[in-house]
Structures are given as C-alpha cells and as structure tokens.
Amino acid sequence: MKTRRRLAAVAALCGAALLTQGLWIPAKALLAQRLLERAWGRIRAGEVAVAPWPWADTWPVARLEVPGRDVRVLVLEGATGRTLAFGPGRLAGSAALGAPGHSVVAGHRDTHFAFLRELTSGDRIRVERADGSSLLYRVTDLAVVHERDTHVLADTEVPTLSLVTCYPFDAARPGGPLRFVIRAVAELEARAQPTRRRSARSEKKIASPPAATGTASPAQIVLGISSGQPREASSPGAAKLSSRPA
C-alpha cells in the first residue's frame, strides 16, 4: 500500500512538472516578445542598442511586415543560436536593413520564418527602421539551395533583402543541408528590374556544393545553420550563418 502511494505521489509530481514546463515555455516566449517590443520602442525614441533584458547580447534593429498577411516580426542584431530563439537575426557583416547593399536575415522555419513558405514572387515586404523610416521591398526570387551555394548572398549595389531559413519546412529532423531563400529588391529598384518568371520546376532549384579549392573567396558566405555560435569560414571575409531550428 505504501509503495503504491509513493508511486502515485511520484507520478503526480512528474505530471505537475510537465504541466508547469508546458505552460512556462509559451509564457516565456510571450514575455520575451513584450520585452523586445519595449526595447524597440525605446530605440525608436532615440536610444541606441537597447538590450531587451540585462544579459541579452542582441537588440531589435528593424521590423519586418508583410502587408495583407498579418506578419509583423522584429529583426534582432546577430544570427547566433541564442538570438534566433527569440526572433530572426541580421547576419553580421551584411548591410543594415533598408540601407544600400545586401541585407541578410535568418530565422527558424517552424516559428518566426514559417510564413516564408507562403510568399510568392511579387509580394511586398516592408522594413521599418529605428529612425521611423520604412522601405518597401518586392519579392523577385525564391530558391532552394545547398548550404554551401553562396552566390545567393553575394554583395549587391541596390538595396536587397534576403530571408533565409532551413528547408524543407516540414522536415521531421532539423539540420539538413538545404536552405530556402527569399530575395526581395527595394521597390524603386524592383520596378526597373521585372520579376523573373520561372517554371514551377525551376523556381526552386537545388545547387550542388562547390568543389573545395583550398581557399575560399573573400565574398563567400556559407549558409550553414546550426544551434551554436557562427563559425568563421576559411576566408577572412566569409561568415557562417547560425539558425538551426531545435
């Protein structure tokens, strides 16, 4: 009898622990989003690099919106595993969002960037900056590439935005070598560069990884997405993107 009571007590404690954990995770995510919004409000008011909580090593740098799709996400500085747990992150070394050049943002396929699977050529993406200005981008290209196919992140002269996440979206296990990349060009530039029309077969292409040459190109960016810190590639100008969904 005593043994049964002890077993029942242990089972009850385990159930309570699981319930508490199940409630704590979404509560923590909600709290984090509120703290991020508060930090963004202070940054919009003129403060610089406001950390959302004392030990945070990131801060909001912009807001992404997709008109007509009820998508509004804050973009954080850096693309480390810790940062991507709370929101998409700007890849260090890429252009500031809304600025000339190529801005690269990574996010998890099953949370903040799950909406990427719904985007199509011609969709608009609005970027709101800390100074209150905004820039409208138009999606011009969608592709599935190998993590080492780096041409998709090459530098550009016109304001360009690339959103990157793991692929496939419904993969049972994370960590595969494929990446889904949405490219969008600032609206004024997009008007001068008509959307490339592709067949359904060619719209999502899988490129083979480049052969090893011993020395990486200075412009090389490796689309390797992991849960750890970004690791430098063999070239001083190369970077490694970190964003593997758990």
Is 11 contained in some domain? no
- Total count of domains within the chain: 1
**In the 8-state DSSP scheme, what is residue 67?**
T
Domain at 107, CATH number: 2.40.260.10
* Backbone torsions φ then ψ of 205, nearest 5 degrees: -110, 145
By the 8 A CB rule, do 154 and 219 touch? yes
Report if residue 39 sits inside a domain.
no
Q: Is 36 helix (H, G, I), strand (E, B) or coil?
A: helix
Contacts of 88 (CB under 8 A, 6+ apart): 64, 73, 75, 76, 105, 106, 107, 108, 112, 113, 163
C-alpha distances in angstroms, 46 versus 42, 50, 62, 126, 130?
A: 7, 10, 14, 21, 8
208 domain-assigned? yes
pLDDT in tens, the chain (246 residues): 555 554 444 444 444 433 344 444 456 556 888 899 999 999 999 999 999 999 999 999 999 999 988 899 999 999 888 888 899 999 989 999 989 999 999 999 988 999 999 999 999 999 999 999 999 999 999 999 998 888 888 889 889 999 999 998 988 777 788 999 999 999 865 544 444 444 333 334 434 333 333 433 323 333 554 333 333 333 323 344 434 444
Q: Is 198 exposed, middle or buried (0-12, 13-18, 19+ CB in 10 A)?
A: middle
Let me know if residue 14 belongs to a domain.
no
Instruction: Look up the domain containing 96 and give its range.
Output: 60-240
Q: Report CA torsion sign: 79, 82, 84, 86.
A: negative
DSSP 87: S
Put simply, whether the predicted model's pTM sits higher than 0.75 gets the answer: no
86 found inside a domain: yes
Q: Tell me whether residue 225 is in a domain.
A: yes
Task: Tell me whether residue 20 is in a domain.
Answer: no
Please report whether residue 49 resides in a domain.
no
d(CA 231, CA 66) in angstroms, rounded, equals: 31
